[in-house]
Amino acid sequence: MHSPKILVYRPDEVEYYKEIIEKQGITNIYTASTLEEAKSQLPTTEVILCWQFPLELLETPEASSVKWIQSMGAGVDDLVKHPSIPNDIQITRIVDQFGTPISEFVFGYMLYLANDIARTREEQAKRQWTPFHAQLLSGKKIGVAGLGSVGLEIVRKARAFDMEVFGLSMSGAKADRVDHHFGPDQWKSFVQELDYLVLTLPLTEQTRWSVNREVLLSMKPDATLINVGRGALVKESDLIEILQEGHLKAVVLDVFEKEPLPIQHPFWTMPNVLVTPHLSGPSTPEGVGQFFVQNLQKYVEGKPLQGVVRREFGY
Amino acid sequence: MHSPKILVYRPDEVEYYKEIIEKQGITNIYTASTLEEAKSQLPTTEVILCWQFPLELLETPEASSVKWIQSMGAGVDDLVKHPSIPNDIQITRIVDQFGTPISEFVFGYMLYLANDIARTREEQAKRQWTPFHAQLLSGKKIGVAGLGSVGLEIVRKARAFDMEVFGLSMSGAKADRVDHHFGPDQWKSFVQELDYLVLTLPLTEQTRWSVNREVLLSMKPDATLINVGRGALVKESDLIEILQEGHLKAVVLDVFEKEPLPIQHPFWTMPNVLVTPHLSGPSTPEGVGQFFVQNLQKYVEGKPLQGVVRREFGY
Out of A124, A132, A260, closest to residue B274 by CB: A124
Q: What is the pLDDT of residues B4-21, one digit of tens each?
A: 999 999 999 999 999 999
Taking the C-alpha atoms of residue A189 and residue A205, their distance in angstroms, rounded to an integer, is 21
Q: What is the pLDDT of residues A153-181, one digit of tens each?
A: 999 999 999 999 999 999 888 888 999 99
Taking the C-alpha atoms of residue A117 and residue B114, their distance in angstroms, rounded to an integer, is 14
- In chain B the beta strands, taken as DSSP E runs, fall at 6-9, 29-32, 47-50, 68-71, 90-92, 141-145, 164-168, 180-182, 196-199, 224-227, 250-253, 273-275
Burial class (CB in 10 A: 0-12, 13-18, 19+), B290: middle
Q: What is the mean pLDDT of residues B34-52?
A: 96
The pLDDT, as a whole number, for residue A82 is 86
Query: A105, B260: Cβ pair inside 8 Å?
Result: no
Q: What are phi and psi of B195, to 5 degrees?
A: -90, -30
User: What is the distance in angstroms between the Cα of B244 and the nearest Cα belonging to chain A?
Assistant: 19
Taking the C-alpha atoms of residue B104 and residue A62, their distance in angstroms, rounded to an integer, is 56
Pairing state of beta strands A6-9 and B250-253? Answer: unpaired
Taking the C-alpha atoms of residue A150 and residue A140, their distance in angstroms, rounded to an integer, is 20
Q: What are phi and psi of A224, to 5 degrees?
A: -120, 135
Residue of A278, A286, A310, A311 marked active site = A278
Contact A6, A28 (CB under 8 A): yes
A293 touches chain B (CB under 8 A): no
Q: Which secondary-structure segment (H or E) carries A198?
A: strand A196-199
Complex ipTM value: 0.89
The architecture that CATH gives domain A99-275 is 3-Layer(aba) Sandwich (3.40)
Contact B115, A118 (CB under 8 A): no
Q: What are phi and psi of A240, to 5 degrees?
A: -60, -45
- The yes-or-no verdict on residue A297 having pLDDT over 90 is yes
Q: What is the mean pLDDT of residues A179-191?
A: 97
- The yes-or-no verdict on residue A62 having pLDDT over 80 is yes
Residues 6+ apart with CB under 8 A from A154: A99, A102, A103, A106, A107, A142, A144, A198, A200
Contact A79, A51 (CB under 8 A): no
Question: Does residue A192 sit in helix, strand or coil?
Answer: coil
Contact B307, B95 (CB under 8 A): yes
The pLDDT, as a whole number, for residue A2 is 82
Residue of A93, A230, A236, A257 marked active site = A230
B259 assigned to active site: yes
Q: What are phi and psi of B181, to 5 degrees?
A: -100, 140
B277 touches chain A (CB under 8 A): yes
* Range of weakest confidence among A86-100, B35-49, B225-239: A86-100
Burial class (CB in 10 A: 0-12, 13-18, 19+), A82: middle
Contact A34, A9 (CB under 8 A): no
- Helix H segments across chain A? 14-23, 35-41, 77-81, 99-114, 117-125, 149-160, 187-191, 213-218, 236-244, 285-300
Q: What is the pLDDT of residues A214-240, one digit of tens each?
A: 999 999 999 999 999 999 999 999 999
- The yes-or-no verdict on residue A35 having pLDDT over 90 is yes
Smallest Cα–Cα separation from B295: which of B84, B64, B61, B26? B26
User: What is the distance in angstroms between the Cα of A61 and the nearest Cα belonging to chain B?
Assistant: 35
Sign of CA dihedral A145, A149, A150, A152: positive
Determine the distance from the C-alpha atom of residue B125 to the mean position of all C-alpha atoms in its chain, rounded to a whole number: 35
Contact A273, A253 (CB under 8 A): yes
Q: How many residues does chain A have?
A: 315
Torsion of CA B53, B54, B56, B58, to 10 degrees: -40
Mean pLDDT of chain A: 95
Smallest Cα–Cα separation from A118: which of A280, A271, A283? A271
- The yes-or-no verdict on residue B215 having pLDDT over 90 is yes
Q: What is the mean pLDDT of residues B223-240?
A: 98
Out of A123, A138, A277, closest to residue B131 by CB: A277
Taking the C-alpha atoms of residue A104 and residue A211, their distance in angstroms, rounded to an integer, is 23
Query: B276, A120: Cβ pair inside 8 Å?
Result: yes
A–B: how many Cβ contacts below 8 A? 122
Q: What is the mean pLDDT of residues B257-270?
A: 97
Q: Which fold has domain A6-96+283-300?
A: Rossmann fold (3.40.50)
Query: Alpha carbon of B112 to those of A52, A125, A270, B59, B259: distances in Å?
Result: 30, 17, 21, 47, 24
What separation, in Å, do the N-terminal and C-terminal C-alpha atoms of chain A show?
Answer: 31
Taking the C-alpha atoms of residue B196 and residue B215, their distance in angstroms, rounded to an integer, is 14
In this prediction, residue B187 has a pLDDT band, given cuts at 50, 70 and 90, of very high
| Residues forming a β-bridge with A5 | none
Nearest 5°: the CA angle B218, B220, B226 is 90
Give me the half-sphere count of Cα atoms (radius 13 Å) on the Cβ side of residue B81. Answer: 10
- The yes-or-no verdict on residue B1 having pLDDT over 70 is no
Taking the C-alpha atoms of residue A94 and residue B113, their distance in angstroms, rounded to an integer, is 27
Residues of chain A with CATH 3.40.50.720: 6-96+283-300, 99-275
Indicate the DSSP class of residue B135: P
Query: Alpha carbon of B147 to those of A1, A159, B154, B180, B215: distances in Å?
Result: 56, 21, 9, 12, 19
Out of A118, A268, A277, closest to residue B130 by CB: A277
Q: What is the mean pLDDT of residues B30-51?
A: 96
Strand order through the sheet with A6-9: A29-32, A6-9, A47-50, A68-71, A90-92
Chain B, nearest residue to A259 by Cα: B129
Residues 6+ apart with CB under 8 A from B263: A127
Q: What are phi and psi of B29, to 5 degrees?
A: -110, 130
What separation, in Å, do the N-terminal and C-terminal C-alpha atoms of chain B show?
Answer: 31
Taking the C-alpha atoms of residue A273 and residue A50, their distance in angstroms, rounded to an integer, is 32
Taking the C-alpha atoms of residue A233 and residue A146, their distance in angstroms, rounded to an integer, is 11
Residue A278: list chain B partners with CB under 8 A: 131
Residues 6+ apart with CB under 8 A from A301: none
Query: A101, B136: Cβ pair inside 8 Å?
Result: yes
Nearest 5°: the CA angle B76, B79, B80 is 85
Contact A143, A191 (CB under 8 A): yes
Q: What is the pLDDT of residues A242-275, one digit of tens each?
A: 999 999 999 999 999 999 999 999 999 999 999 9
